[in-house]
Structure 1
């Protein structure tokens, strides 16, 4: 009796192989041949599940964002519905930093996609903008919550959210190059939140 194949498991197996190839060789190292060799399957099988290179590249990008999104949801659930805006923001932003092997891999993959969009390697920036746009929306929402809670006057939460998202992206990429440690990166996140929300929000959080 032939074995039943779980196609989603097989697709994920291939996507995980793509991620490993990107980490070691960048997007330019990704071909049907290198992915098949990394996955330990035939090129024809990779082509069966992903008809084009761009198809499995975009699927890989989505998988990274879905993995990060699942962690975000776990952190949100653990914090509870009454979490202070600063606490919620800190949880979200630190999830984007390469503080462990999994997040380092994700940051390397996302960085490779960013560079590919800049250098025209078949991936456009627009195809990878959904995640940063979602991050900006989450950050802006929490900044507005903070403004409403303490009566502070943030001139433009949306622009502040854009600034936070860009800063975190730069910090994550800097860490990959050896600029700063995990402790110093988290300290910078706290400093950034202090600059935007004020140090009183940190004190309020510690008093809860």
Structure 2
């Protein structure tokens, strides 16, 4: 009897291999051949699941966003039924920072996609901006709920999103440590929302 293949598992194996290739050599290192070799499968099998390179690149981007989304939800749920806005913002944004190996890999992969969009390498920003925009919207909603609500929550949310993206990339480049990244996040929230009370 032929072995049954879980197609979603196989697709996940391929996108995981794409991530590793990107981490090792950037987006330009990604080909059907390098992905197949990394996944330990044939080129033909990669082509069966993804007809074009762009297809498996965008599927890889979605897989990173899906993984981050699962963590966002877990962190959000852990805060209870009606989390305090600052705590909610901090918890979610911390998941964007490269504070462990998984988040570091994700930040490298997302940075490679940003570079490709800027350089016009076949990936457009419109194809990869849905998740960052949703994150900014969530931050804006929480800023509106805060007792110390700012007069420009939408702009402040955009600023926070841009700043956290910069902190993440700076941490990857060694500009600051993981601990320093968290300190910068807290300082950023202090500047936008007011200093956190001690104790």
Q: Which category of TM-score, normalised to the shorter sequence, fits these structures?
A: over 0.9
**After TM superposition, which residue ranges in structure 1, 4 or more long, deviate above 2 angstroms?**
none
Q: Whole-Å Cα distance in 2 between the matches of residues 58 and 134 of structure 1?
A: 18
Structure 1 residue aligned with 2:156: 160
Deviation for aligned residue 1:57: 0.2
Once the two structures are TM-superposed, the CA of residue 153 in structure 1 deviates from its matched residue by 5.0
Deviations 1:50-84 (A, max 9, x none): 00000000000000000000000000111112211
> By percentage of residues, which structure has more helix?
1
Q: 1:181 maps to what in 2?
A: 177
Deviation at 1:14, TM superposition (A): 0.4
Conserved 8 A contact 2:149-2:193: no
Following TM superposition, by how much is the alpha carbon of 1:168 offset from its aligned partner in structure 2, in angstroms?
A: 0.3
Q: Gapped runs of 5+ residues in structure 1?
A: none
Residue 88 of structure 1 is matched in structure 2 by 88
CA distance in 2, matches of 1:145, 1:76: 16
Match status 1:171 vs 2:167? yes
Unaligned runs of 5+ in 2: none
TM-score by length of 1: 0.94
Q: Which residue of 2 aligns with 1:104?
A: 104
CA distance in 1, matches of 2:149, 2:84: 17
Provide the rounded CA distance (Å) in 2 between the counterparts of 1:101 and 1:161. Answer: 27
Answer yes or no: is 1:33 the counterpart of 2:30.
no
Q: Which residue of 2 aligns with 1:60?
A: 60
Hey, what's the Cα distance between the residues in 1 that align with 2:93 and 2:125?
A: 22
CA RMSD of aligned residues (A): 1.0
What CA distance in whole angstroms lies between the structure 2 residues aligned with 1:35 and 1:171? Answer: 30
**Separation (CA, whole Å) in 1 of partners of 2:49 and 2:4:** 16
Other structure's SS at 1:82 match: coil
- Displacement of 1:21 in angstroms is 0.3
Describe the SS at the equivalent of 2:122. coil
